Amino acid sequence: MILHVANLGHPVLRRRAEPISEEELKSPRFQAFLDDLVESMRFHDGVGLAAPQVFQSVRAVAVWVPPEMDEEGGGLEAAAYVNPEISLLGDEQELGLEGCLSLKDLRGLVPRHRRIQLRALDRHARPLELKLAGFPARVFQHELDHLDGIVFTDRMEDMSTLVFAAELERYGIPGMEDEEPA
């Protein structure tokens, strides 16, 4: 079932989500929810979707990174991650363009850590541990922020880079235009 996405301003997006017990995770109802979360992410053309974005204040996210969006080429198959946590691997950060299904059509530059380690449970309550870099690391940081009531605009250092997708395509990011060669 395709789930509706909460828009910025709905209180669920600003709450800290609750952990999921192993018993709840294994329930048929929650398994169906995880299927719906992944299906909804794909339907809404997202690479990530957090449970609070679909009005469920629980610690679950769906992520999908196509190989062409992963600098290392592997990508990540569409899957659900339960009770995810990240550890930073090093201090290196990079600025990258982000959007959000809850802030439809807005994009902005957000600093994120380049490398992270993810720990989570899969849908069968098996522990997962992944080391991620680049775009996949960015996606998980963005989605885990949702679990703590944070949206990408909260992380932006320069709000002048906040643009609508259509204007981004037309004009680029303000102040980031390609310079003419001298």
Domains and CATH numbers, the chain: 11-95+111-150 (3.90.45.10)
Torsion of CA 66, 70, 72, 75, to 10 degrees: -30
Q: What is the Rg, in whole angstroms, of the alpha carbon atoms belonging to the chain?
A: 17
Give the separation between CA 147 and CA 125, rounded to whole angstroms: 19
Task: Give the model's pLDDT for residue 118.
Answer: 98
Residue 175: pLDDT band by 50, 70, 90 thresholds?
low
Instruction: Give me the pLDDT at residue 179, please.
Output: 37
Report pLDDT for 181: 35
pLDDT in tens, 59-107: 999 999 999 999 887 899 999 999 999 999 999 999 999 999 999 999 9
Beta-bridge mates of residue 117 = 87, 131
Burial (CB < 10 A; 0-12, 13-18, 19+), residue 119, is middle
Q: What is the mean pLDDT of residues 141-147?
A: 98
SS3 70: coil
**98 is annotated as an active-site residue:** no
Please give the pLDDT value at position 112. Answer: 98
Q: Which of 143, 169, 177, 179 is catalytic?
A: 143
Residue 173's pLDDT band (cuts 50, 70, 90): confident
The answer to whether the beta carbons of residues 93 and 111 sit under 8 Å apart is yes
d(CA 92, CA 97): 17
pLDDT of 167 over the 80 cut: yes
Confidence of residue 182 (pLDDT cuts 50, 70, 90): very low
* pLDDT number for residue 35: 98
Nearest alpha-carbon partner for 79 in 39, 111, 38, 40: 38
Determine the pLDDT at residue 81. Answer: 98
Write the pLDDT tens digit of every residue in 6-52: 999 999 999 999 999 999 999 999 999 999 999 999 999 999 999 99
What is the C-alpha to C-alpha distance for residues 107 and 96, in angstroms, rounded to an integer? 10
Average pLDDT over residues 133-156: 98
Helix (H, G, I), strand (E, B) or coil at 151: coil
